[in-house]
Amino acid sequence: MDAASALPAVAASLAGATGAYMLYSKRRGLDRDASGGTGASFDGQLAAGVNMLANKDSVLRRDQVAGSMGAYADLFEGKTGKHSGNGLEGDGAVTTQASIDKRREGYRTMVNNFYDLVTDFYEYGWCQSFHFAPRYKGETFLESIKRAEYYLCSRLNMKPGVKALDVGCGVGGPMRNMAVFSGATIEGITINEYQVKVGNKYCEQQGLKATAHLTRGDFQNLPGFQADEKHKLWEGIDYRGQDWTARFDVAYEIEATCHSPDKVRCFSEVARCLKKGGLFAGYEWVVLPERGYDAKNARHVAIKEGIEIGNGLPTLATPADVVAALEAAGFEVLEHGDANANAHAPTEIPWYDTLDGKMSLSGFRMTRLGRACTHAMVSSLEFLRVAPKGTSHVSAMLNATAIDLVEGGKDEIFTPSYFFLARKK
């Protein structure tokens, strides 16, 4: 059965949720799209969802999805698809040293499999910038995303002639926004072949081929690293003799080095690739002991593990861990603090608000109902053999971690936006 012939069956599986949303939207005058035209978001959601699952650029074959998801789940003790309210008991199974070490050792496979599986879901439900951001009232979601990126540009003094390194660039959404805004030349690195493939295509489509480029690589071992028994290139990566030592004026990471199994190593490689005095800034995912996170509190542990499971993380660090790793890597830490510290102020919209079930037409896919509809669609397509086996498992995992992200944000025990600014000594 092809995607077109499956659409009626998929639409039927979404009928109840569709009706509920349509009633809601009509009552509130939301049955027009952002451009002012008519058309329910479910029509667009369904068509976009089918296109997502039929992506011809994917490097993951249909028969590999279930296996990749299974291998990923094994690294998290089989708890994928569960959140702190439906099966993560806070017993610490994912937080044991043995479990963390297993993920640290296999982090390349873990992160690569994770982004093979979720990149299309992220683009479909979020945007090409895979990160959160502080948000003021009156500011749209996308405006807040770009403002967080432009803030890094300003703190790093990015401008024409500056060469910047994007550490863990994803599909390059921030890179392209920042290249247009600042005029700097940016090189991004990601371990995922699929992200490089589509990211460079997007750069070319936007006319940014000369100023924004993605390279496949490992931010634990950047081009020019000294190979030894411990540090070797992973399968499929070929730097073709490149050496990035002292190549860049500045570097940044946006919610990316939380994937690192050894932050001292990662930050040391960034330092090697910077010129002396070069600046490094970023937003890091951390738990917040100073705001109340308690490693002995079962609920806190369950939330932490739910975030790790659904986002491909070896383990969440603390702010003190991040600062110590920067200093050990040869940086002087100039500034650090939670960019979401005022998330619950009356003038701000919490960073997790888009995941918390608030209705909006433009951001419908991010909401709880939108995610439920996506999961129903994906499950139906998998049942009809349009989507690969294992796709609904990926969707369930992302739905579960969204709930824990919200809970961590509400309790102020977690932030995805711990800002730091450091200078290479």
**Angle between the N-to-C axes of helices 3-13 and 15-27, in degrees from 0 to 180, rounded to the nearest 10:** 70
pLDDT score of 164: 98
Give residue 393's pLDDT: 72
Tokens 């479990």 belong to residue = 99
Enter the tokens of residue 337: 């603090």
Q: What is the pLDDT of residue 75?
A: 84
**pLDDT of 194-222, one tens digit each?**
899 999 999 999 999 999 999 999 999 99
pLDDT at residue 225 in the model: 97
For residue 287, pLDDT over 50 is answered with yes
The tens digit of pLDDT for each residue in 63-122 reads: 677 777 788 888 888 888 777 877 777 778 888 999 999 888 887 888 887 777 667 767
CB 314 within 8 A of CB 259: yes
- What is the rounded CA–CA span in Å between residue 17 and residue 165? 44
What distances in angstroms separate CA 401 from CA 61, 89, 251, 319, 397, one per listed residue? 25, 14, 29, 21, 6
Strands 414-424 and 212-216, bridge-based pairing: unpaired
pLDDT category at 10 given cuts 50, 70, 90 is very low
CA-CA-CA-CA torsion for 206, 212, 215, 218, nearest 10 degrees? Answer: -120
pLDDT tens-place string over residues 132-190? 999 999 999 899 999 999 999 999 999 999 999 999 999 999 999 999 999 999 999 99
Supply the pLDDT for residue 48: 52
More confident residue, 375 or 403: 403
Q: Please give the Cα distance from 66 to 57 (Å, whole number).
A: 18
For 205, the token pair is: 């489509």
Greater model confidence, 65 or 353? 353
pLDDT of 7 strictly over 60: no
Name 116's Cβ contacts closer than 8 Å, sequence gap at least 6: 58, 59, 60, 68, 192, 194
Task: Give bridge partners of residue 190 from the DSSP assignment.
Answer: 216
Which domains are seen in the chain, by residue range?
45-425 (3.40.50.150)
Model's pTM, two decimal places? 0.83
Sign of CA dihedral 320, 326, 332, 334: negative
**Confidence class for position 359, pLDDT limits 50, 70, 90:** very low
| pLDDT classification of 369: cutoffs 50, 70, 90 | low
Q: Which of 259, 197, 189 is nearest to 217 (CA)?
A: 189
Q: What number of other Cβ atoms are within 10 A of residue 4's Cβ?
A: 9
Predicted local confidence at residue 40, as pLDDT = 37
Both structure tokens of 247: 């190549």
Q: Which two tokens stand for residue 125?
A: 């439900």
What pLDDT shows up at residue 366?
61
C-alpha closest to that of 310 among 359, 258, 360: 258
Instruction: For residue 224, give every residue at least 6 positions away whose Cβ sits within 8 Å of its Cβ, in sequence order, or none.
Output: 239, 242, 243, 244, 245, 272, 273
Which has the higher per-residue pLDDT, 68 or 367? 68
- pLDDT band, residue 31 (cuts 50/70/90): very low
Residue-wise pLDDT tens digits, 261-271: 999 999 999 99
Specify the pLDDT at position 358. 57
pLDDT interval class at 368 (50, 70, 90): low
Pairwise CA distance, residues 173 & 177, whole Å: 6
Q: From the CA atom positions of the chain, what is the Rg in Å?
A: 21
